[in-house]
Structure 1
Amino acid sequence: MRTSKVLSLIMSLVLLSIGIQALAADVTINIALANNPLSQALDKIAKEKYSAPGVTVNIAVLPENDLRQKLTTEASTGGTTYDMFYIGPYEANNWAKNGWLENLEPYFAALPADKLTWYDRDDLIKGMVGSLSLDGQAYALPFYGESSFIMYNKELFAAKGLTMPDEPTWDEIYELAKKIHDPSKGIVGMTMRGAPGWGMSGAPFVTIVNAFGGRFYDMDWKATIDTPEQRGAWEMYKKILREAGQADILSYTYNECIALMQSGKCGIYYDATSIAPPLEAEGSAVKGKVGYVMPPHQKMKTNTAWLWNWAMGINPKSSPEKKKAVFDFMLWATSKDFIKMTIELDPTGASTPPASRASTYKLPVYAQTPYAEMTLKTLESTDFTKPTLEPVPYVGLQYIAIPEFADAGTRMTEYLADYVVDKISLDEAIKKTQDLFNQVAIDGDYQK
């Protein structure tokens, strides 16, 4: 009897030990994504389809400005609220230098050969991979990439007898937008992001500056805001939105712009190539009615699009178990299999990550989408290292790849917003921005 009790006790302890070990093996990883359509699609698909033994994935979807603020604070203070950082090239480059991102190369080195073959790193678009690397080492993986182009409502253009040039200038876009604009019928001539933020209104605005031949610094890091080229860009942005844009200019992020364009009540929209899929999705009033052309040029005659991606990196302060779980999730979300699954779930392509993998454009369903050819054209002709007409000491097409730009760029867009709604004059806005960028260069020890 005693022997039986002892054996029973031993068995209970063994089972308890196994249970404790199993519990210890379970991990929960916390992820925050931006509230754009493709990230929202990832959130939905992951909750329905992703499964890994012992792993729970908690996903939050946040407004883009909030996401950037939270993750920057998290990374810079060594926080562990989020185990995966959802970032772009701007953060990847600066954060890798600061030690705020985990180097992914050891994780790839530990993968078995069949897993490496399955993932096929060579299929990732090189420009996207390069923008997330430091000294040839990957610090993030691209979930989706984008350039920028003009989207226009072919039905509204036909009704007015208008033709969109294949490679329009900003002057031509302005004139076309005014002709389409008809408030009496609820028609908006053109929409663009108006909400302040370096990644909001700053994204289209900086490319307008580039197109006009403007730059933010000369080769000696002296600010070049107070120039005819910059003034021309500021004036054009305001003219379009005040004379042919949405009524509530400053509340418009890309989500509001997308909804307006989807409604069929907007003639022209300048934004990211990744925004085209929702326009062609079921339920969109403009499905099959949108034309796509190159981003507008002006003084600068070459492609003036931007280059961006939303990418996934590992928080270096998370536990080893969580880091491994995050890496596995990243592989799944950036794989060929994930892309094929999105096409199967949504044949419109609205849920499929663009511009991350070359093979995406070989999938018959995706290759036939109305925006695929123009997306590739803008990506292939975009030079990340030559953003401006005149030489500059920085890289970046819709931002300047220095740590200080997140704050400086946002403050610039606040001056831009004040100028657009007549709170301050152009002279005041230019002077404030000129002084701001000069101070950034002095404080950052860029000016020698």
Structure 2
Amino acid sequence: MKRKPYILIAVLCSGLLLMAGTQVFADVTINIALANNPLSQALERIAREKYSAEGVTVNIAVLPENDLRQRLTTEASTGGTTYDMFYIGPYEATNWARFGWLENLEPYFAALSPEKLEWYDRDDLIKGMVGSLSLDGQAYALPFYGEASFIMYNKELFAEKGLTMPDEPSWDEIYELAKKIHDPSKGIVGMTMRGAPGWGMSGAPFVTIVNAFGGRFFDMDWNATVDTPEQRGAWEMYKKILREAGQADILSYTYNECIALMQSGKCGIYYDATSIAPPLEAEGSAVRGKVGYVLPPHQKMKANTSWLWNWAMGINPKTTPEKKQAVFDFMLWATSKDFIKMTVELDPTGASTPPASRASTYKLPVYAQAPYAEMTLKTLENADFTKPTLEPVPYVGLQYIAIPEFADAGTKMTEYLADYVVDKISLDEAISKTQQVFEQVAEDGGYK
């Protein structure tokens, strides 16, 4: 069934849901845009049926991730008010808070009653996720769900080939296993990864491969370091996995296509976010109960080969005071312990439950027993947002560099990566062009 581009949530009263609200409104409409991924889609469905606040109408649009990023960045940078809530991640939160593009949430929390503060329980939010959305100790967004990254593999296909997945695989081992699984004559893909260009698409897994190979993008003096043996090794590995053992239409694959392929039972290995595991274990998935989970691959280093991300909710500072309060109330509801408990009641598989945002989530019996829960926590424990590489660097961020210029630079890099993968340009040309991009970043940003 084709999904409608937006939903209109009716205005009804609910005792549980009014716990999130702080006041009654008169005909306030708030507009929200979410990323088109499984957990955000689940939020849309649940909000349509369960969220209510007197006097408030909520319009929710679900957009492709690249489109969402572009629209919200334009909106925030120009002071637009098309959207009253910004659905963002740590990259945006870190920079937008500095630019004044996000509302400081501390005054809103200060206005809550002791009962509502106790109900929300800010201390239960995972500190690493909260910290990635804060500036100078002040919260500018609330995590809806968090993620690291790990390897997911089809145990049934591995058993058929007599293969064993190491607990801590290297990229060389992943490559060899993927080639052994790959069997186009039977419609079996050895390994899938995001291939669609975009700093948050193919850029996410690719930058962690660079980190694993010991590569970096700048040295401590902000000299670009793309043209290095370590980076070249990462570029070559990404290409040969997808060309020799990956999906046929490499460049069209976002995480949605990768998920569908893995769910079909026709794929051996998938490297992506930990938050993608729940759909693989959901009803209707051909691999439900057949997926194994191990740490993200290393190469020259065993730490920080994962990524750290969350999808979070912030308030557009340019919208009206009434809308700001209504957005804050919705954010409290969507990031509360009660919401998480409700998702488990509605979907006992855990596929609709936002992970890695609250510690209490992993104490819920159904979720704690999920096959991916233990490895999700283990991967999160190993991720250090401040130390992404083997060698020292002047930046932070695991699957991206937390500087404003990276959105454009990272996207250009993935476009050259895509051209290299499909043989439009050579590795030398791709590396040279990307080196120039990051040299320009250091110059234009005044980092040198």
- State the TM-score bracket (shorter-chain normalisation): over 0.9
Gaps of 5+ in 2: 1-23
Question: Residue 39 of structure 2 corresponds to which residue in structure 1?
Answer: 38
Larger radius of gyration: 1
Deviations 1:297-344 (A, max 9, x none): 000122410000000000000000000000000000000000000000
* Alignment of structure 1 residues 74-85 onto 2, 5 Å: 74-85=75-86
Return the alpha-carbon distance in structure 2 between the equivalents of residues 164 and 233 of structure 1. 21
Return the alpha-carbon distance in structure 2 between the equivalents of residues 134 and 111 of structure 1. 21
The one-letter code matched in structure 2 to 1:96 is A
Secondary structure of the corresponding residue to residue 416 of structure 1: helix
The one-letter code matched in structure 1 to 2:103 is E
Return the alpha-carbon distance in structure 2 between the equivalents of residues 333 and 301 of structure 1. 35
Does 1:195 find its partner at 2:196?
A: yes
Question: Residue 243 of structure 1 corresponds to which residue in structure 2?
Answer: 244
Return the alpha-carbon distance in structure 1 between the equivalents of residues 281 and 160 of structure 2. 20
Question: Residue 279 of structure 1 corresponds to which residue in structure 2?
Answer: 280
Question: Residue 12 of structure 1 corresponds to which residue in structure 2?
Answer: none
Return the alpha-carbon distance in structure 2 between the equivalents of residues 343 and 373 of structure 1. 17
Question: Residue 5 of structure 1 corresponds to which residue in structure 2?
Answer: none
Return the alpha-carbon distance in structure 2 between the equivalents of residues 211 and 381 of structure 1. 13
Return the alpha-carbon distance in structure 1 between the equivalents of residues 434 and 185 of structure 2. 37
Instruction: Check the 8 A contact 2:304/2:398 in 1, yes or no.
Output: no
Deviation at 1:278, TM superposition (A): 0.1
Instruction: Check the 8 A contact 1:31/1:57 in 2, yes or no.
Output: yes
Question: Residue 104 of structure 2 corresponds to which residue in structure 1?
Answer: 103
Return the alpha-carbon distance in structure 2 between the equivalents of residues 200 and 321 of structure 1. 35
* Alignment of structure 1 residues 342-381 onto 2, 5 Å: 342-381=343-382
Instruction: Check the 8 A contact 2:197/2:415 in 1, yes or no.
Output: yes
Return the alpha-carbon distance in structure 1 between the equivalents of residues 100 and 279 of structure 2. 36
Deviations 1:259-289 (A, max 9, x none): 0000000000000000000000000000000
Return the alpha-carbon distance in structure 2 between the equivalents of residues 378 and 303 of structure 1. 9
Deviations 1:149-189 (A, max 9, x none): 00000000000000000000000000000000000000000
Return the alpha-carbon distance in structure 2 between the equivalents of residues 116 and 198 of structure 1. 37
Question: Residue 134 of structure 2 corresponds to which residue in structure 1?
Answer: 133
Return the alpha-carbon distance in structure 2 between the equivalents of residues 221 and 332 of structure 1. 43
Does 1:221 find its partner at 2:199?
A: no
Q: How big is the alpha-carbon RMSD for the aligned residues of Structure 1 and Structure 2?
A: 0.8
Instruction: Check the 8 A contact 1:419/1:429 in 2, yes or no.
Output: yes
Secondary structure of the corresponding residue to residue 107 of structure 2: helix
Q: Where has structure 1 moved over 2 Å in runs of 4 or more?
A: none
* Alignment of structure 1 residues 149-188 onto 2, 5 Å: 149-188=150-189
Relative to structure 1, the CA distance from residue 24 to residue 129 in structure 2 (aligned partners, 3 Å threshold; closer, same or farther) is closer
Does 1:307 find its partner at 2:308?
A: yes
Question: Residue 8 of structure 2 corresponds to which residue in structure 1?
Answer: none
Question: Residue 68 of structure 2 corresponds to which residue in structure 1?
Answer: 67
Gaps of 5+ in 1: 1-22
Return the alpha-carbon distance in structure 1 between the equivalents of residues 332 and 210 of structure 2. 37
Deviation at 1:25, TM superposition (A): 2.0
Give percent identity, aligned residues only: 91
Secondary structure of the corresponding residue to residue 438 of structure 1: helix
The one-letter code matched in structure 1 to 2:299 is Q
The one-letter code matched in structure 1 to 2:421 is V
Question: Residue 51 of structure 1 corresponds to which residue in structure 2?
Answer: 52
Question: Residue 20 of structure 1 corresponds to which residue in structure 2?
Answer: none
Question: Residue 210 of structure 1 corresponds to which residue in structure 2?
Answer: 211
The one-letter code matched in structure 2 to 1:396 is G
Question: Residue 3 of structure 1 corresponds to which residue in structure 2?
Answer: none
Return the alpha-carbon distance in structure 2 between the equivalents of residues 301 and 135 of structure 1. 31
Name the count of aligned residue pairs: 425
The one-letter code matched in structure 2 to 1:357 is R
Question: Residue 388 of structure 2 corresponds to which residue in structure 1?
Answer: 387
Return the alpha-carbon distance in structure 1 between the equivalents of residues 210 and 218 of structure 2. 12
The one-letter code matched in structure 2 to 1:293 is V
Question: Residue 18 of structure 1 corresponds to which residue in structure 2?
Answer: none
Question: Residue 430 of structure 1 corresponds to which residue in structure 2?
Answer: 431
Deviation at 1:381, TM superposition (A): 1.3
Instruction: Check the 8 A contact 1:207/1:306 in 2, yes or no.
Output: yes
Secondary structure of the corresponding residue to residue 143 of structure 2: strand
Secondary structure of the corresponding residue to residue 28 of structure 1: strand
Instruction: Check the 8 A contact 1:294/1:374 in 2, yes or no.
Output: yes
Question: Residue 421 of structure 2 corresponds to which residue in structure 1?
Answer: 420
Question: Residue 145 of structure 1 corresponds to which residue in structure 2?
Answer: 146
Instruction: Check the 8 A contact 1:89/1:131 in 2, yes or no.
Output: yes
Return the alpha-carbon distance in structure 2 between the equivalents of residues 303 and 325 of structure 1. 38
Deviations 1:27-81 (A, max 9, x none): 0000000000000000000010000000000000000000000000000000000
Secondary structure of the corresponding residue to residue 25 of structure 1: coil
TM-score under structure 2 normalisation?
0.94
Return the alpha-carbon distance in structure 1 between the equivalents of residues 144 and 295 of structure 2. 23
Return the alpha-carbon distance in structure 2 between the equivalents of residues 338 and 66 of structure 1. 27
Question: Residue 233 of structure 1 corresponds to which residue in structure 2?
Answer: 234
The one-letter code matched in structure 2 to 1:343 is V
Instruction: Check the 8 A contact 1:33/1:59 in 2, yes or no.
Output: yes
Deviation at 1:24, TM superposition (A): 8.0
Instruction: Check the 8 A contact 1:347/1:365 in 2, yes or no.
Output: yes
Instruction: Check the 8 A contact 1:303/1:378 in 2, yes or no.
Output: no
Return the alpha-carbon distance in structure 2 between the equivalents of residues 381 and 177 of structure 1. 25
Return the alpha-carbon distance in structure 2 between the equivalents of residues 367 and 381 of structure 1. 19
Question: Residue 13 of structure 2 corresponds to which residue in structure 1?
Answer: none
Secondary structure of the corresponding residue to residue 276 of structure 1: helix
TM-score under structure 1 normalisation?
0.94
Return the alpha-carbon distance in structure 2 between the equivalents of residues 435 and 24 of structure 1. 53
